[in-house]
Structure 1
């Protein structure tokens, strides 16, 4: 189960970025329908990836493996920050592009 949390977090983080990038590519190719769905799914995938990391940290605390927690918590926090910031930037850029398109 533990390897599922780590692998799932990684996969969902990549899915969050891919969905946001696909949304930007769809804008460039004039396929502008359903863009809110892609953005919502992207943010949701990011949230679930971060949740998996929290569950993994909780698991380490529950089994008493504090040395593993201390070894990984810094990297986990940095990776979570990067995942969140990049996801928000990509989806914010998408929102700005689509908002400016609907104003014209």
Structure 2
């Protein structure tokens, strides 16, 4: 179960980063009407990814696997923070660029 949660978290984290990059790549196209939807999906994927990590930690606590918790918590916390920060930054850049386009 933990392996599936970690795999799902990784895949959703990559999706959370890929969607704003797709938005930024499609910025030059004048008819990109779905940028808000893609940004919302990106933030949602990030949230679900972090939720999977919380459930993974909960599963380890429930099974009293303390050595695994002590070995992995630093990396889990660091990678989760990096995922959240970069997702917010990428979506903020997307918001700023598309907002400038709308005000012109």
Asked if TM exceeds 0.5, the reply is yes
User: What is aligned with 1:2?
Assistant: 2
Taking the aligned partners of 1:28 and 1:78, their CA distance within structure 2 comes to 34
User: What is aligned with 1:35?
Assistant: 35
User: What is aligned with 1:62?
Assistant: 62
Q: TM-score with structure 1 length normalisation? A: 0.96
Gaps of 5+ in 1: none
CA RMSD of aligned residues (A): 0.9
Displacement, 1:26? 1.1
Taking the aligned partners of 1:64 and 1:17, their CA distance within structure 2 comes to 33
Does residue 25 in structure 1 map to residue 53 in structure 2?
no
User: What is aligned with 2:52?
Assistant: 52
Taking the aligned partners of 1:94 and 1:17, their CA distance within structure 2 comes to 12
Gaps of 5+ in 2: none
SS of aligned partner of 1:27: coil
Displacement, 1:29? 3.3
SS of aligned partner of 1:10: helix
How many residue pairs were aligned?
104
Taking the aligned partners of 1:69 and 1:28, their CA distance within structure 2 comes to 46
Q: TM-score with structure 2 length normalisation? A: 0.96
